[in-house]
Chain A
Amino acid sequence: MTRLTGDAAALRIGVVGAGGIAHSHLAAWQRLGSRVRVFSSDGRASEVGGRYGATAAPDLAALLADSDVIDVCTPTYTHPDIVRAAAAAGRQVICEKPLARTHTDAAQMIEYCAAAGVQLWPGQVVRFFGEYATAHAAVRAGRIGTPAVLRLSRRGSAPGPEWFADETLSGGIMVDQMIHDFDYARWIAGDVATVYARVVPGPGRTVTAYAVLRHISGALSHLVGAWAGPDEVFRTSFSLAGSAGLLRHSSAATSAVTWAGVHDTRAGAVIPGGTARRSPFDDELAEFARAIAGGPAPRVTAADSLAALDIALAAVMSAAGGRAIAIEEVQR
């Protein structure tokens, strides 16, 4: 991965949070050559930041004062306040997905940033994974004809931090995890009209969720998300069937290195690929930094992330009510 150059390289990055996803972002910023400071309310900023050449800020105000870009890597339920503070301070914003726990919060975050004249980019990192980006390009090039039936699957161990298990804080598996595939399905087949979903709790904190989307185009999407036991190897797959072809991928079948009989020392981790030479986080954050520095528009916008959140929220409503949900019911 090449380092950032020019104005993008000069941006002072302020990361908020020192949990799982912050590690991925800090490592990426370090590879990109950016100057990074970290603030985290849990007091781990100095320790975690130190691993990636980043210095700690004593509080959010100090971080805001000393950054051009605020990169929000905190738990979902804290996003709105932090983004609002960043926008109020005139800082450019990158915010992890989901933007917020509710449609209203996410929509207001977009409005605040627009009103403050700052950019807001969402951490929908799946669009930056090589397999997903390459498949999207192939679909756009017409290789499968018109998308017809999409299958998207994502499995991993249930995330460790307690707040993920609290649906009022994280939104649950569909809002937190499947939002990646909701966003991807929409990227491939366009806006969604209706959502039907079922959530099946397993033993302990495990859960499997299924969703069927009908896109306005008429395309259908089938999604599976699983938060499984601590030894679950993270894996994803997709199958994109179109009027003139079929495109499939399985992470399990395409790993360059595989392990067996080895306990996963990253048990509880939900973020794959932290040490790969080509990290999707590098591509994602570089694209956002270049846009902030006046470069081309990134492949994903905050509006896209809000649309994915709406699909996830419709799925939550559907699973709770046992009926199909029109996407407008969420946006209302």
Chain B
Amino acid sequence: MTRALGDDPASSPADDTVATGGPARPPFQAAGPRPLRVGLASFAHVHAAGYAALLRDRPDVELRVADPDAGRATDAGVHPRGAELANRLGVQLVDSYAELFDWCSAAVVCAETAWHRGVVQQAAAAGVSVLCEKPLATSVADARAMLDACAEAGVILMTAYPVRLHPDFLALHEQVRAGRIGRVLSAQGTNNGRAPFTDRAWFADRVLAGGGALADHTVHLADLLGLLLDAPPTRVYAQTNRILQGQHPLVSGGDIETGGLVVIDYADGTVATIDCSWSAPASYPAWGGLTLSLQGERGAAGFDAFSERLELFDDSAGSPRWPDYGTNLNALLLEEFVEAVRTGRQGHPDGSAGLRTLALVEAAYRSAQTGAPQPVPSTD
């Protein structure tokens, strides 16, 4: 059994005290051999196929997929979804979310971000627990509505922030919270990668995705910082630009940012910076990465979420590659979700983690638009 944050004594007190709504639903057939019915709601997200394969291969899970909006994707011809992808993955496709949610107990929502609210509300109304891709929504208002819907229905809502489940992050978290480096004074994080719109065009659509790199790559680090630091973020400054991938028609003809830098002040004086830029070129040896370094009163610590890699020089590939042999973070996330649904406890990261980080991103966009630092509203 893999470790998950909810099982860890070092998990953030903040997370334990944040109200997550109504009671979780009763345990699902905990003693029985019957597999958990999990529905994958949409193939839109770049992680969807990976989730499908992981869930398909779990003996304790039965998987079905609905991808009703597949035909609306502008790049449907280039990046197949719907029946074609379901067939390729060997998973059963159903026609509608209604049919999916009528059948399953738990759903992984991978729709375009703008549709998260509607899909999650529909799932909650059907009594289905949800693991939702990040960002949780394209607005704080939508995210709040999702949390409310799940609380009212008594179903679990989790946000797909798998990095906090990384075993080495858990160890780092435990040590930092125990005071190993003293109070954290400042931090800098990078979450750089290839632009996701090269795999799914809707990531370049501000309406569907809620933004570009700033929306996509600020939240993982904001979530980790939320766990590591004592105080909430109070002020954020952000700058963005559109130079990376600037020649790509989805960028030159669109309005999303591909580069961004964020500076966050926390209530206790801690300062953190996040580089959310999609700065990994096509020839980069991996999809990208995530790093976080912490400066404390009595020492420093660093974290590289994808440090477990080989360096491969393959003449047939042209450029060097970094094959990853580390923990599959998405597998850990699904494990936590399945376990939470089975036992009826709230899984982590929960919906409020998604809401908190989204509030930071919204404030960061206000800063990027005005050029001035902006207050970060509390979501508690």
Q: Which residues of A contact B (CB under 8 A)?
A: 146-149, 151, 194, 196, 198, 200-203, 208, 210, 212, 214, 218-220, 222, 224, 226, 239, 241-246, 322-324
Given contacts A218-B241, A226-B295, A324-B237, contact A149 B277 (CB under 8 A): yes
CA distance A208 to B270 in the complex (A): 11
Contact A246/B279 with A198-B271, A208-B295 known, Cβ cut-off 8 Å: yes
Distance A11 CA – B270 CA, assembled complex (angstroms): 52
Asked if A194 contacts B186 (CB within 8 A), the reply is: no
B275 near A: Cβ within 8 Å? yes
Interface residues on B, range: 35 or more
Instruction: List residues of chain B with CB within 8 A of the CB of A322.
Output: 235, 373
A198 & B261 in contact (Cβ 8 Å cutoff): no
> Is B90 engaged at the interface, CB distance under 8 Å to the other chain?
no
Do the beta carbons of B244 and A149 come within 8 Å of each other? Answer: yes
Instruction: Choose, from B65-73, B121-129, B280-288, the stretch at the interface.
Output: B280-288
Q: How far is the CA of A226 from the CA of B281 in the complex (A)?
A: 29
B239 at the interface (CB under 8 A from A): yes
Check if B352 is an interface residue, CB within 8 A of chain A. Answer: no
B179 at the interface (CB under 8 A from A): no
Q: Out of B240, B245, B261, B283, name the residue touching A243 (CB < 8 Å).
A: B245
Q: A198-B265, A241-B277, A323-B372 are in contact. Are A208 and B186 (CB under 8 A)?
A: yes
For residue B192, CB closer than 8 A to chain A, the reply is: yes
Interface residue B185 (Cβ < 8 Å from any Cβ of A): yes
Counting chain A CB atoms within 10 Å of each CB, which of B239, B270, B297, B373 scores highest? B239
CB pair B275–A149 under 8 Å, yes or no, is yes
Instruction: With CB as the reference atom, state the residue of chain B lying closest to A229.
Output: B299
State which of A146, A244, A246 has its C-beta within 8 Å of the C-beta of B280. Answer: A246
Asked if A203 contacts B263 (CB within 8 A), the reply is no
Given contacts A210-B273, A212-B273, A218-B243, 18 further A-B contacts (CB under 8 A): A148-B241, A148-B246, A149-B244, A151-B275, A198-B271, A210-B263, A212-B237, A214-B241, A218-B242, A220-B241, A220-B259, A224-B188, A241-B259, A241-B279, A322-B373, A323-B373, A324-B372, A324-B373
A-B contact pairs, 14 of them (CB 8 A): A148-B241, A149-B241, A149-B243, A149-B244, A149-B260, A149-B261, A151-B275, A200-B271, A203-B297, A218-B241, A219-B243, A222-B275, A243-B244, A322-B235
Min Cβ gap A239→B in Å is 8
Please tell me which one of the listed residues B241, B261, B269, B283 contacts residue A222 in the complex, with CB atoms under 8 A apart.
B261
Q: Is the CB of A220 within 8 A of B295?
A: no
A196 touches B185 (CB 8 A): no
Residue numbers in A under 8 Å from B240 (CB-CB): 220
The smallest beta-carbon distance between A147 and chain B, in angstroms, is 7
Q: For the complex formed, measure the closest distance between the CB of B175 and the CB atoms of chain A, giving whole angstroms.
A: 19
Q: Which residues of A contact B297 (CB under 8 A)?
A: 202-203
Q: Is B247 an interface residue (CB 8 A)?
A: yes
Do residues B261 and A212 form an inter-chain contact, with CB atoms below 8 A? Answer: yes
Contact A212 B263 (CB under 8 A): yes
Interface residues of B (CB under 8 A from A): 185-186, 188, 190, 192, 235, 237, 239-247, 258-261, 263, 265, 269-271, 273, 275, 277, 279-281, 283-284, 295, 297-298, 371-373
A243 touches B243 (CB 8 A): yes
| Residue from B247, B281, B295 in contact with A245 in the complex, judged by beta carbons closer than 8 Å | B281
Task: Tell me the smallest distance from the CB of A325 to a CB of chain B, in Å.
Answer: 11
Distance in angstroms between the alpha carbons of A220 and B192 in the assembled complex: 14
| B272 (CB) vs chain A CBs: closest residue | A210
> Could you tell me the distance in whole angstroms from the C-beta of A152 to the nearest C-beta in chain B?
12
Question: A244 to B243, alpha carbons, bound, how many Å?
Answer: 9
Q: From A200, A220, A243, A245, give the contact of B246 (CB < 8 A).
A: A243
Which of A198, A218, A323 has the most chain B CB atoms closer than 10 A to its own CB?
A198
Q: Smallest CB-CB separation from A217: which chain B residue?
A: B243
Across the interface, name the chain A residue whose C-beta is closest to B246. Answer: A243
| A200-B186 contact, Cβ under 8 Å, with A245-B283, A246-B280 | yes
Contact A244 B281 (CB under 8 A): yes
B243 to chain A, nearest CB (A): 4
Taking a contact as CB atoms under 8 Å apart, the answer to whether B241 and A246 are in contact is no
Shortest CB–CB separation between residue A200 and chain B, in angstroms? Answer: 4
Could you tell me the distance between the alpha carbons of A244 and B282 in the complex, rounded to whole angstroms? 9
List the A residue with the shortest CB-CB distance to B247: A243
Q: Which residues of B contact A222 (CB under 8 A)?
A: 188, 261, 273, 275
Q: Which residues of B contact A324 (CB under 8 A)?
A: 237, 371-373
User: For the complex, what is the distance from the CA of A152 to the CA of B192, rounded to whole Å?
Assistant: 15
B26 CB, min distance to chain A CBs, angstroms: 48
